[in-house]
Amino acid sequence: MPGSVKVKVLSARDLPVMDRATFLTDAFVEICIGSITHKTEVVRKSLNPCWNSDWFCFELDDQALQEEALVLKVMDHDTYSAHDTIGRVYFDLNPLLSPVIPDV
């Protein structure tokens, strides 16, 4: 049975300095499940970026929900070189498949 996962990226705090010239960071977030990737906009020159993004929607089948993790990667945008990874976090999606049984 297919399902959907919706992700909204709000903000980050106290990011490390990634640009030594400005002592700031040009941050964005990559949101990945399996081979599907979405990206927020780049917030330039901030160590406390606020994206307050739209919802990113992933339509997945049960197998993908069981096997794939939701990965959020905070990245530093570089114009003339590869983007730098600031950090990442993995979320197991299996608990989303567990039925919730209300207390009666």
Domain assignment present for 55? yes
Which pLDDT belongs to residue 15?
Answer: 96
Number of domains in the chain: 1
Give Cβ neighbours of residue 87 (< 8 Å, ≥ 6 apart). 73, 74
Domain boundaries, position 63: 3-93
Domain assignment present for 101? no
Mean pLDDT, rounded, for 92-102: 74
Domain assignment present for 99? no
Domain assignment present for 83? yes
Domain assignment present for 87? yes
CB atoms within 10 A of CB 27: 25
pLDDT tens digits for range 63-96? 888 889 999 999 999 988 899 999 999 999 888 7
CATH number at residue 26: 2.60.40.150
C-alpha–C-alpha distance, residues 85 and 76, integer Å: 6
The β-bridge partners of 81 are none
